[in-house]
Structure 1
């Protein structure tokens, strides 16, 4: 608002031209007024920095309308105010029809300076605001045209498209003009089996709810085309006045998820078959072992028993690891105190102690999160002894939680390999427990780090967790 305003004032009476210029500058120190006494002189003074022209109507070498016509040819949007003593309806009508910005009768001129100065300042500010809005709109348009996502703005009931970028043609395979003419036409681009679901989601947004929805596009050809829309209502005084959002092509992601599920199913079937084929000889060997035990105590039979127990652990871990997968499909709010207590009860080690100090709720997959705690509890008992004390709590930086024991800990040189498949620091370990924990953490898109606990034991820090407020 403090920027100066360059004005050209044209009046064929030299003394009056200078007087008006001087008094306008006195009324508003932002105004810098150049006086001119003819149409030709005034137009010569108009330049790129001029933001307003004030002109009398009747001039020696023309009229104020001649000024308007000539100035607008080079500066189409420059404001022009007629300040004249030629006041009749015909002149005013011609001036307004020609596009004059404003029209003032001089009257008692000394009384008009304040009003004229105010009109000039207000007119220029309005033009500046409009110009800046046009610039912002142009920049947003240019930015939106660089996006691969469809960016859109509808009115509150989806009946009018206020903005949509050209990515619509690529994603929905319809011309942009088509949806601008008939806003509801994009529903016809949706796969028939998904149209009802999409229509219901649109109704929910118009009712004030935000929506995220995946659906298919009705494309020609064998390949499915999936998109994901994120839509939000703009609510003013309780009414939905705008609907904004974006839609992106997620066909590749969907294909990857489907392929991953196929591979996981295949791996699950393979692991089940392998486990079945292993369990049959295991059952035979275990049966003969029990029979041999019944006939007498033999130290060698204990070694066979230990081997069979380890084999059973490997089979169980193999099945568990095969069924984890690389992604988590569904998460829900999970109370960590409740879940850790349930997992601890399933371990059933009477000499061990659990300090369950956390009071947080996080978003996670309930079954897989339980596997994390059960495996970390078993790992602590296995490495720190049956009288181990285990603590579960929230990290100080509130990025996640930790499970800590008071055992010997994990040396820094072995912390990375401890999370790999088949690596164990004990003779009886299978080397799968921590690998399973790592797989589940990554499936949740969390991070796992092994550090040293307060008592020198192993501390497993799980971060990037989303908390339920």
Structure 2
């Protein structure tokens, strides 16, 4: 058998070659350091099997695998990432590309206790993991060397289809319990077995509780138990955080029930959430590929559980936000209205008595500031979670709207180049109003504000001929509460940023040709129409 070993690390490559030679002493071994070297050898030599690391100087192992599959068909391909270069995403990509075997790199945290002993202990730990990797490479090469590739492909396709269907179901799940139900069904389907159980960790009781089981698992004597620390294979895997395929369960020292009819067991950790267990009545059922597929399934289950947690947290945050908006809308506005009314009465009474009321002007200013802050905070709160309803919008019409709602006295507002784009009308109006208002507040008397379409057609700009924004402050202007104006709330441009973000656009601040501020919004989707040049409003 001609075997090609590929690895950009000379030391690792040498170890891989030695491992394959030990397993296949009569094989002809070839080696390559890069993807290009490997493809050249595949094109010129009778290569029958490829063993590759993932990180390569000119690409990665999955790319090489895809090239091999595209050009040379089902040549056995073993992907064996070095420590720290693998993971569920790499394994998933490899399986999608029809890898024959995947040798996981092992946990980079597996030697935490040893690393505390010093550099020598770290080295021993690294060598131990490397030795384990090489042993698994030898086992994988031995397996693919005797494997009938033609008969293996249909089974791989079935497993991948089951994994895909499980992913769809997991994405749609809205509770931990539903995730567990989809997970056990998928585990049994993928591995062709009937007995699977998902256990979720109860932190209050410090136990692993069965959350969902297949019918076959429920029918086992006593049904799925509740596991406590240190009393089972399941807890061992939960603590270690690494998948484990046990070939003979009754003989394992941590077997919960040595009398169990289950002979082999695949246990997959779920990142602190729990574990997923599949069992078989036959010993030695699970191989390296089952572990690889299991890793991918477990990763998808963890992602689904995290998604459920995020949705719950978002729901709580929205409830708190609704309470906040309610307090601002009612509980603050009401006393503010009372204070404003009393201020007017006090001013009238003092005026009748011939008393100066200049101090009341400061009170009036403070109350006005409070009202402005309330308005801006409400707008900011409503931006969170609000749906975007895009429709065709004409830039010049939006600029006209700004002239009607923003006090532009003494300023000039013009549209240099016109265009129609898609956006949420109400929110884009608010965005443009705030940009115009910002230019007028900072640009001084007689400022000219110009809006238009960017020259490359990717977005919209607003610029003025005022004093501009210092380069060191350009990133700060979108921060909540940042303002250089005494009357500014510091939320105007923050609201602009939120509206831009809600449309999946981007905004940046730069300097206009006249030396003023220029805001460029990119990622805008334009609708084909005629453009209109230079529309000016005084």
Larger of the two Rg values belongs to structure: 1
**TM norm structure 2:** 0.43
**TM norm structure 1:** 0.49
